[in-house]
Amino acid sequence: MTAAVLEGAVASDPVSRLGLGIAIILVAAKLGGEVAIRLKQSSVLGELLAGILLGTLPLRFFTEMRVDPYVDMLARLGVLVLLFQVGLESTVREVVQVGGPSAAVAVLGTVGTLVAAGAAAVLALPHASLLVQAFVAASMTATSIGISARVLRDSGAARRREAHAILGASVIDDVIGLVVLAILTGIVAHRATGAALTPWCVVWLVVKTLGFLALAIVLGMRLSGPLFRLTARLRGSGALLATGLSFCFVLAWASNAIGLSPIVGAFTAGLILEESHSATFVERGEPSLAERMEPISAWLVPMFFVLMGMRADLRALLHPQTLLLAAVLTAGALVGKLACALGAPRGTDRLAVAFGMLPRGEVSLVFANLGLSMAILDGGQYSALVTAVVLTTLVTPAALRSRLARTSQAGRPVPDG
């Protein structure tokens, strides 16, 4: 009897089922990413499409995995790690140093997308609330720079002025996108309390968001140096990674504690930390923080992208309204980012800069997932957003390569960095 009970307990151990789900997701992510890379696309696109494929399989296991709370929690951790890494790729000093032209490119692209995608949302969702329309439009604002960066590198144009403008603008673009996200999620949280939403409430949300960013950056830059110097005295392995992740998760908690999305804090933490924080560890032969993060992100981040794909309902695209929303959102997303051309620096190919800002990706999927989890978006609206992300991602490489090749053939000089 005891043996039978023990066997039953082992057989029903939820860890084994979770482990199987993780294994399937990781294998699907790796295969999908490999196919995408061979087709000269971003691995993110492959992971997303792999999830969509798994979600269409008529198997109970995958249906349950879409709503499994343990898988969902791992995916949420993956989002924090992802945004922390995005922040680590830039610094506060770089954001300040990219200059007016890059800031103009980012701001014009964001405003243009909000207007164009907002008009698309009103057209396709005439009976939806203003909050839903605004959330759908805001989801299309952030650029996924990884795709454009790869095209620029593969085309030998990484040192051209167009590349500098695109990469600089993308840093500011991420910051603006997350500020917009923080404000919208703050509005949702405020309405959930049943309180009336007045203009002063919106102003307070904006002030609170910008205040958090400013305070976190100022205090973080002052305290992070001494913190990491103290950590460097520890001789045990993993001290750097533990400190970096703790810094990320504490700021994510602080962000959520004042009513903002945790990803705002995670991104801010990455933005604060610089290579100098890892210098002592690197000097004694240890990997940097960015390198230490790779094994963790290699399995947590794909969990997020595959799960996002699994939650997309392709059958919803058969509904005329969902299909219309996907089409007009894609058009609005493309048209909106063309406004970037107006802010491109002199001496650059303005269309090349605009094309480099076209792809959507990680942050847009984070927007969509938050909208779905907070019941702002329904399944059809979420699926339309995922489709728009896929389409803008597919369009960019061909458009940017074509424009770069055209300007090179025209005999334009390629400036040095």
Helix intervals (H) in 357-378: 362-373
How does pLDDT run across 107-149, given as a tens digit for each residue? Answer: 888 899 899 999 999 999 988 888 888 888 888 887 776 666 6
Q: State the distance between the two ends of the chain, measured CA to CA, in whole angstroms.
A: 75
DSSP secondary structure letters along 227-287: HHHHHTT--STTHHHHHHHHHHHHHHHHHHHTTS-HHHHHHHHHHH--GGGGHHHHHTTPP
How does pLDDT run across 149-163, given as a tens digit for each residue? Answer: 666 766 676 667 777
For 112-142, b where at least 16 C-beta lie within 10 A, e where not — what string? bbbebbbbbbeebbeebeeebbbbbbbbbbb
Asked if residue 170 lies in contact with residue 106, where contact means CB atoms within 8 angstroms, the answer is yes
Output the pLDDT for position 353.
Answer: 86
Q: Please give the structure tokens belonging to residue 106.
A: 């980012």
Could you tell me the pLDDT band of residue 196, with boundaries at 50, 70 and 90? low
At residue 126, φ and ψ (nearest 5 deg) are -65, -25
- CA dist., res. 403 & res. 417, Å (int): 20
Query: Is the pLDDT at 414 greater than 50, yes or no?
Result: no
Output the pLDDT for position 95.
Answer: 63
Q: What is the CATH number of domain 21-409?
A: 1.20.1530.20
Kindly state the percentage of the chain with pLDDT values over 90: 12
pTM attached to this predicted model: 0.74
Output the pLDDT for position 5.
Answer: 47
Residue reference for tokens 């995608």: 117
Output the pLDDT for position 236.
Answer: 77
Asked if residue 271 lies in contact with residue 257, where contact means CB atoms within 8 angstroms, the answer is no
How does pLDDT run across 238-258, given as a tens digit for each residue? Answer: 899 999 999 999 999 998 887
- CA dist., res. 261 & res. 270, Å (int): 15
Output the pLDDT for position 415.
Answer: 44
CA angle 313, 134, 137 (to 5 degrees): 60
